[in-house]
Every structure is written in C-alpha cells, then in structure tokens.
Structure 1
Amino acid sequence: MKKILHYVSKMNRAGQETFIMNMYREIDKSKFQFDFLLSDNSPGQYDNEILKKGGKLFYIDLNKNGHFKALKNYFLLRRKLYSLAKKEDIFYIHNHHAFDAYLSARAALKAGFKKVIVHSHSDSAEYHRWLSRLFRPLLSHLPVIEIAASEPAGKWLFSNDKFKIIKSGIKTQNFLYNKQSRNEIRKKLNIEDDLVVGNVGRFVPLKNHIFLIEVFKYINDKIPNSVLLLIGDGDEEQSIKEKVEKMGLDDKVIFLGSKGDVEKYYQAMDIYVFPSLFEGLGMTIIEAETAGLPCFISSVIPEEVNISPLVYRYSLKETPESWANKIILNINKTKDVDRINTSYKVQKKAVDLGLDINETCKEMEQIFLDPKI
C-alpha cells in the first residue's frame, strides 16, 4: 500500500482541502492511504472523517513571526520529515507560493522522500508575489512532480511547462438538480418565494465578499424579494457581517457557516455570483453549474470552468452597479431554462472533461504508482 502524506495548514472545508477529501473518498483504499501533516494544530472540520477512514494526523509547530522564520521553519520541517519519510512513501505539497513550496520540497527531498509532488491550486498569491516569481525557477529545478489545477495555476507556480494539469474533480452526481432538496432548504430558511442569490467560499480577501455585498445591494434595490446565501467561514466573516449591517441588509443576507452538505444548498439557489480576485480553477463554480445554476463570475477565473452556456464573465473593473444590472438582465433571459435538463447535460460534460472526481482519481493513481516519476 502506498502512503501519501499531504502537507496543508488545516483540514477545513476550503477549496484544496475539499479536493483532497473528494479524492480520499473515492480512491482505491486497498492501494492508497492518505495521511496529513498539518501546520495548524487547531481542530479541522475534516479531522474526524480522516481518522474514521484510517488516516493519521501529524502536526508541526512552525514559527509564525520573527526574523528568519522561513529558514527556521525549513529546518523544523526537515527534522519532522526525517522520521515520517520512513513511514510514508510520497510527500504531497499543496501550495501556490513558489518560495514556500520550494523550501517544503527541498526539506522533503533532504529528509529522504524519493517522490515529492507540488500541486498548484491557484493562479496568484495573496502575499509577496515578487518572491514567488523569484523562486519559480528554483522550484522547477528540483526533482519534483509538478501538478496544477489549470493552465494559469501551472504557469503561476512553475517556470517550465513540465507541469501536468489535474482538474479538481467533484462528485458530480451529488450536485445534480434536486427539487425536493430545493423545497426543503427554502422552506427551512423561510425563503420560498424569494430570488435566492448564492455564494460558497471562505471569508478571506481573495473571495471579494465586499464587492459581492455591494452587487447584491443593487440587485435587492430592484428586486426587493431577493436574499443572499453565504456559505463558508473565515477570518473576515465578522467584518463582512458589519458591512451587511451598515448597508441595512441584515434581513436579506443569510450567513450559513460551513456546510458538510453544501450540495443541497445549491439546489435552493436561483443564481450563483462569484467575484473572486483569482482562482486556480474554481471548484464551486463547477458545483453550481452541475446544479443547473446561471453563474456570474469574475473574468479573471480560468476559462476551464466554462462548461455550460450559463456562465457569464464580468470584469472586476466594472462597478458593482454594472454587475447588478447585467445580472438582472440575464436572470430574465435564463428564467425559463429547464434546470433539470441543464443539470444533467452539465454533469455529462463535466465527466467528459475530467472534472468528475473518479476521473481525477484515475489520473492521480497513475502518478502515485508510476516508478518513473
């Protein structure tokens, strides 16, 4: 059995972590075991599921502040990996900053790992972009397996074209339009007669919630019986709630927190709005499309998410009012769309394009087992 050690901060319901768990649920467990090295020792939302599946959770206490913290953390990681390299077969780094990825990969190679994977899940970074660009050539010079969620994500992290695109597959069957789930959730939230605008994402700056709230304000001004469902959690949640209160939208914006059954909530939505500043792929857009939803997204998101005719791309240089006006116009165009039929068509296309997690697992299994890489 091959043991794969995933290196992330914490196993919460976020994009790359959800991708890992989707893969873990579907991969052949007679051949592969997933374990996790976590740099944050606070409880994660997926921890219990990992432990039930037989996975192990290891922790490393990294320096968060101070001079030379990166160098100190390199030696801490290298020391930790010396013992783990005797138990694990593959070290799998999930990162989108070349400096951090380079140090982690180098530490793993020095500690004795024969196979190291670096997976880019984003096409930019939230901090020190210049440093990431500087370390791209050094990272690509290491004997590591380069994987990216999309072409832009690969070009962002790696300086060569050796990277392999592995799309972040989802369990497409789970997101097919379900009228019963729609009615149950809408009744539960008392939004049966409303236009429901939805968004799924962590409350972090790159998800651009402030802009989203401003767009929704203009939508609500013209369509008073509209509500906004926000699914997710994160450091910025409280500041977003304060923004909502300041704009007088308290009874129009519903904060649902992180959801383990998020697929049911897509059914309750009427449209999906996602003005993210950057994405490696944008898994939640694929989920929303598979649920048959018209998706209004920022133009910076990779083209690979365009798997249905119901994706509308707008520039973030446009005003929130412009977004709202265009969204309202297109709502009227798409209101008579057969959502059930659309959902099944999108699901089939997602499978054909390798966006189903079973297809993802087939590709990853080959990488895990191939002795040449």
Structure 2
Amino acid sequence: MKKILFLNSCVEWGGGEKWTFETAHELDKRGYEVIVGSVAESELYQKAEKAGLTTKVVPVKGSLSVLNLSKLFSFIKYLKREKIDIIFLNLSQDLKFGAICGKLAGVDKIIYRRGSAIPIKDRFYTKFLLEDCVTDIIANSKSTKETILKNTAQWLSEDKIEIVYNGLKIDKIESNRSGTDIKKEFGIADDEILIGNVGRLSKQKGHKYLVEAVKIISEKIDNFKVLVVGKGELEAEIKKQVKSLGVEDYIIFTGFRSDVYNIIRQVDFLLHTALWEGFGFVIAEAMAVEKPVVSTDVSNIDEIMIDGKTGYLAESKNPADIADKTIKMINTDRKEKMGRIGKEIIEDKFAFNSMINQIEELYLN
C-alpha cells in the first residue's frame, strides 16, 4: 500500500482542513499508510491525534519557511527516511515548502489541491513549483480550475489538473440529529420565517451585503428572522452595522455552534452571501438535508445548485438583488420540492465515497 502524507499547516479549522482530515481518515481506514502533517497547535493536528491517525509536526509558519534551510533539510530527510510515496498539499505556504521538499526527496507524486477559486499569481517561482515540482493538481470545481489557468495557461498544461468535487458524508448528516429546538431557544415565534446564514464572520462571506439586504426585506416583510451562525474577526463590525441600520429585531447572532446540521434542518432556507468560494460546503450541506438555498452567484455555486430548481442565485455584492431573491423564496410554495431536488443532486454528484474512489483511481492505483 502507498504511504501518504497530508500536509496542511493552517491553525484554524475550515473547508480545506475538513477535506484533509476526512480524506486522510477514510484512506487510513482503507488500509493506506497515512500521516497528517501540520503545526502542533492546529485544529487539524488535534483532531487527527484524537482520531488515532499517525501525525507529524511540520513547522511551516508562513511562506518564508521554505527559506529556513534547517527546516527544509530536516523535512527532506524525514520524507526519505519514511519512504513517502505521495504528498497532498493544501495551502500556498505548504505548496512552497512541501513541493520543494518532495521534489528533492524524490517523492513519486506531489499533489497540490486548490480549494479556492482565486487566480494564482504568476510570480517568478510559480512556474517552478507547479510545472517542475508538482506532479498533479486537484481543483475542487470547474471554476477553481479556470482560475488556476487564468494566469498560467501559457505554460501550465490543463491535463495536469483534475476536478475532484468535495464529498459529503450523507449518512453522517442523516444520523446527526441532536440539538435544541432553535425557535424555542432564541424566542422565535412559530409563524416566523426562519432563514439560516452559516459561515465565518469574515470579508469572504459578504455579511455586509447580507445586513443591507435584511434592511430592504424588513421594509416589505415583517415576520422573519435570520440566524447568523459563526464567529470571526468582523463580528464587532457586523454587529455595529446591524445596529446602525436598525435591524436588530431581524438578525440573531448565535456564535459558534457545534450543531450546525440541527440548525439547518430547522430553518426554512439557507441564505448565503459570499463574495467567493472554494466549494461552498454549507450550500451542499443544506441541500443534503433538503433545504432550498438563496446564494450569490459566485465561483462554483452554480455547479452545486440549479437556479430556479434548488433555489435562487443573486448577484454578488448587490443587496437589492439578494433581498429580491430572498423575498421570492419566502413567498414561493415550492420550497419543499426544491429541497427534495437538491438532495437528489447531492446524492448523485457529491457523495463522499465517490470522491474517495476518484482519488484512489487517479492517484493511488
């Protein structure tokens, strides 16, 4: 069996870390020798340890770690000693450090997984890393593949890039039904429309436009609440905006929640206002529990949901259009049908085991 190292040095937990952990865990169960490499303080490292996976502290602390010769040669020595066959890399800093180390250590496959639909900057070292060090590139959507090639198409072969959509553990989602009665917990009336917004309170998720859209909606409809689930660096700024626009009665901040599936099950629909996405995990998760979605039409979102059939797509950074599509969803009697179609799409196209099978077929056989 192949010996595989997943290198992901992100301290916080996000979509890339979720993918790394779940993919490593499943391949470990399938009999591969799997090692999760990260910084010791990362959420990923802690979860991998707890799950009984083999771990390795790799002290990547930003892009300049590749210039630390002591770190570099120590890791090259480790890769040779452990006879690593395959490295999966996730972050830009891991690409710089891991790809060069892997190349010098003679690792057979050096795979860079790109999970964000943001163009790669064509810097002097990019061609060396992607053309000479990396053997394969995974894009998690068509949109991500397009942005990889935007600045690199003159020298990077398109054949090097494979699209592997993120996979959802549908059985796990189905069985995860614990949690409180959300309307009761937050004092929401039974007849009020409950809208969910789930994501880190950061610039990427577009909460500024969410709040502006809620202001517009509140001038036309009164019986609704928006649950903003998550925390992040812009929390104080967003709460200040909510107060300044006078929409405190319509927006409820829940903070971090471990029962996200429980919350999504109880909302009427998901409202997603991101400015860009890598995959849009929360949209797929909402569809998996038969909830329709209103989302900004960014990155790969239209590869997951179908406008008019599983929800409505709105123009990004356009509060008026976001509000219009949200009101349209509130008023439609097709929400249940949209939810059922959405779940069928997730089961057919985004199942976790199918993703792992694809990775095995492409890179491990």
Which residue does the alignment assign to 1:187? 184
- Closer, same or farther in 2 for the Cα pair 1:349/1:130, shift >3 Å? closer
Q: Does 1:101 align with 2:100?
A: no
Q: Does 1:349 align with 2:345?
A: yes
Which residue does the alignment assign to 1:55? 53
Q: CA deviation at 1:75?
A: 6.7
Q: CA deviation at 1:170?
A: 0.6
Q: CA deviation at 1:73?
A: 5.1
Q: Does 1:142 align with 2:133?
A: yes
- Closer, same or farther in 2 for the Cα pair 1:264/1:63, shift >3 Å? closer
Q: CA deviation at 1:139?
A: 0.9
CA distance in 2, matches of 1:226, 1:153: 35
Q: How does 1:1-373 map to 2 (within 5 A)?
A: 1-10=1-10, 12-27=12-27, 29-39=29-39, 41-44=40-43, 46-62=44-60, 64=62, 69=64, 71-72=66-67, 76-87=71-82, 88-95=84-91, 97=92, 101-102=95-96, 104-124=98-118, 130-131=121-122, 135=126, 139-158=130-149, 159-162=156-159, 163-175=161-173, 184-193=181-190, 194-302=192-300, 303-306=302-305, 309-316=309-316, 318=318, 320-333=319-332, 335-338=333-336, 342-353=338-349, 355-370=350-365
Q: CA deviation at 1:316?
A: 2.0
- Closer, same or farther in 2 for the Cα pair 1:239/1:123, shift >3 Å? same
Q: CA deviation at 1:149?
A: 0.3
CA distance in 1, matches of 2:171, 2:225: 27
Alpha-carbon displacement from aligned partner over 1:268-292 (angstroms, at most 9, x marks no partner) = 2112122222222212111112222
- Closer, same or farther in 2 for the Cα pair 1:32/1:255, shift >3 Å? farther
Q: Given that residues 117 and 147 in structure 1 are in contact (C-alpha distance below 8 angstroms), is that contact kept between their aligned partners in structure 2?
A: yes
CA distance in 2, matches of 1:286, 1:296: 12
CA distance in 1, matches of 2:251, 2:178: 20
AA aligned opposite 2:37 = L
Alpha-carbon displacement from aligned partner over 1:26-47 (angstroms, at most 9, x marks no partner) = 44514135432225x4341x54
CA distance in 2, matches of 1:203, 1:274: 12
Structure 1: 4+ residue segments shifted above 6 A: 180-183
Q: Secondary structure at the match of 1:9?
A: coil
AA aligned opposite 1:153 = T
AA aligned opposite 1:356 = A
- Closer, same or farther in 2 for the Cα pair 1:4/1:231, shift >3 Å? farther
Q: Given that residues 229 and 255 in structure 2 are in contact (C-alpha distance below 8 angstroms), is that contact kept between their aligned partners in structure 1?
A: yes
Q: Secondary structure at the match of 1:86?
A: helix
CA distance in 2, matches of 1:273, 1:312: 10
- Closer, same or farther in 2 for the Cα pair 1:343/1:326, shift >3 Å? closer
Structure 1: unaligned runs, 5 residues or longer: none
Percent of aligned positions that are identical: 26
Q: Given that residues 275 and 317 in structure 2 are in contact (C-alpha distance below 8 angstroms), is that contact kept between their aligned partners in structure 1?
A: no
Q: Which has the higher contact order (CA 8 A, sep 6+)?
A: 1
Alpha-carbon displacement from aligned partner over 1:271-325 (angstroms, at most 9, x marks no partner) = 212222222221211111222222122222313112571232222253x123212
AA aligned opposite 2:356 = C
- Closer, same or farther in 2 for the Cα pair 1:329/1:152, shift >3 Å? closer
- Closer, same or farther in 2 for the Cα pair 1:204/1:89, shift >3 Å? farther
Q: Secondary structure at the match of 2:181?
A: helix
- Closer, same or farther in 2 for the Cα pair 1:78/1:328, shift >3 Å? farther
- Structure 2 length-normalised TM: 0.83
RMSD after superposition: 3.2
Alpha-carbon displacement from aligned partner over 1:247-268 (angstroms, at most 9, x marks no partner) = 3344533333333332111112
Q: Secondary structure at the match of 1:245?
A: helix
